[in-house]
Each structure stands twice: as structure tokens, then as C-alpha cells.
Amino acid sequence: MVVYDPPGVIGVKPDVVFDLLYLRSARQPQPPLRLLSGLPPAQVTCVGDIMHNVKRLHYLLLLRFLQVVVVFVFAVRVEAQEKMASLKDRADKDVQQHNAEMKELIRIIDHDRRLREFMNAKSKERDEDQQLVAWRLRKG
């Protein structure tokens, strides 16, 4: 079992830290006077120091946890921003490609329409010419 021993926390045994944190997390209230009433004054001071060190350790652990959470949240935020930027770039490229394809299709459709009009005009001229030829043959 690896125990984190931050600087400044001296004389705290891992079992004592675990027991005290377990009592606190289990929400079993232990009045300080009843805990310390049967101990000699020297040990009361030692227990008070241990309690102070446990509280300090608790806050240090809480701060470390918050630091880890903040780093994680920041990393997730940066990753989301990068993903949004890549999606925006991809969307811009898709829009540009769509516009280019639409221009090409409009150009092709316009070309086909002009070609159809030209071919219809030529075919009408030839039809008129054949009618003119047939009329001339009958007339004369």
C-alpha cells in the first residue's frame, strides 16, 4: 500500500490516517473530549497534533484531487475545442466543394441548353430547306 506523505505531515502513521479518515467518511461522530478524556496530557497533545496533521492531509488530498479534476476538465475542453475547429474546417471544405460542384453543374446544364437550342434551330432550317426544295419541285 503506497501512502502519500506530503511535506509537513510528520509522525502520522498510515493506519492512523486511514482509521481517522474512515471514521470521518463513515460519518461516525466522535466527540473530541470523549476521545481524549482518558489520555495523559502529553498524549492529548500528540493526538491533537495527529488530528491537525490528518486535517492538513485531508485538505492536501482534496486540493490534489481538485488539481487533477481541473487538469482533466481543461484537457477535455481543449480536446473539444480542437474537435470543433476540425469540424468547422471540414464543413468549410465541404461547402467550398459543394459550391464548385454546383458551378460546374450549372455550367454543364447551361451548355446543354444552348446546344439543344442550336440543334433545334439547325434542324428547323434544314426542315424549311427541304420544304422549299419540295415546293420548287412541284412548281416547276
Residue stretches of the chain with pLDDT short of 50: 1-14, 16-17, 28, 33-34
CA distance 49 to 31: 16
- Tens digits of residue pLDDT in 58-85: 888 898 899 999 999 999 999 999 999 9
Q: What is the DSSP letter of 85?
A: H
CA distance 83 to 91: 12
Q: What angle in degrees, to the nearest 10, is found between the helix axes of 14-25 and 41-139?
A: 70
Per the document, the length of the chain is 140
